[in-house]
Amino acid sequence: MILINGKKAAAELRAELKEEVAELKSKHNKVPGLTVILIGDLTPSQIYVRNKEKSANEVGLKSEVIKYPDSVEEKTVLEKIQELNSDETVSGILVQLPLPKHIDKQKVIEAIDPSKDVDGFHPMNVGNLSSGYESSIPCTPLGCYLLIKKIEPNLSGKKAVVVGRSNLNGKPMTQLLLKENCTVTITHSKTKDLKAECLEADIIVAAVGIPELVRGDWVKKDAIVIDVGINKTDNGIVGDVHFDEVSKNAKALTPVPGGVGPMTIACLLKNTIDCFKRSQI
- Confirm or reject binding of residue 105 to ligand NAD (CB under 6 A): no
- Confirm or reject binding of residue 164 to ligand NAD (CB under 6 A): yes
Is 268 exposed, middle or buried (CB count within 10 Å of its CB: 0-12, 13-18, 19+)? Answer: buried
- Confirm or reject binding of residue 228 to ligand NAD (CB under 6 A): yes
User: Where in 230-259 is the site for ligand NAD (CB under 6 A)?
Assistant: 230-231
Stretch that binds ligand NAD, among 57-65, 67-75, 161-169, 246-254 (CB under 6 A): 161-169
Report how far apart, in Å, the C-alpha atoms of 183 and of each of 176, 201, 202 are: 11, 9, 10
- Confirm or reject binding of residue 111 to ligand NAD (CB under 6 A): no
Of the candidates 80, 117, 119, 202, the residue annotated as catalytic is 119
Sole binder of ligand NAD in the list 33, 60, 229, 255 (CB under 6 A): 229
Q: Least distance from C-beta 10 to ligand NAD, angstroms?
A: 11
Report how far apart, in Å, the C-alpha atoms of 225 and of each of 91, 144, 155, 239, 255 are: 34, 10, 14, 12, 10
Which is nearer to ligand NAD, 59 or 265 (by Cβ)?
A: 265
* 80: phi then psi, degrees, rounded to nearest 5: -65, -40
Sole binder of ligand NAD in the list 34, 163, 176, 267 (CB under 6 A): 163
Is 234 annotated as catalytic?
no
Which is nearer to ligand NAD, 80 or 270 (by Cβ)?
A: 270
Is 82 annotated as catalytic?
no
Which is nearer to ligand NAD, 60 or 229 (by Cβ)?
A: 229
- Confirm or reject binding of residue 170 to ligand NAD (CB under 6 A): yes
Q: Least distance from C-beta 229 to ligand NAD, angstroms?
A: 4
Which is nearer to ligand NAD, 31 or 161 (by Cβ)?
A: 161
Is 52 annotated as catalytic?
yes
Residues designated as active site: 52, 96, 119
Give residues in contact with ligand NAD (CB under 6 A).
Answer: 140, 163-166, 168-170, 187-189, 191, 194, 207-210, 228-231, 260-261, 264
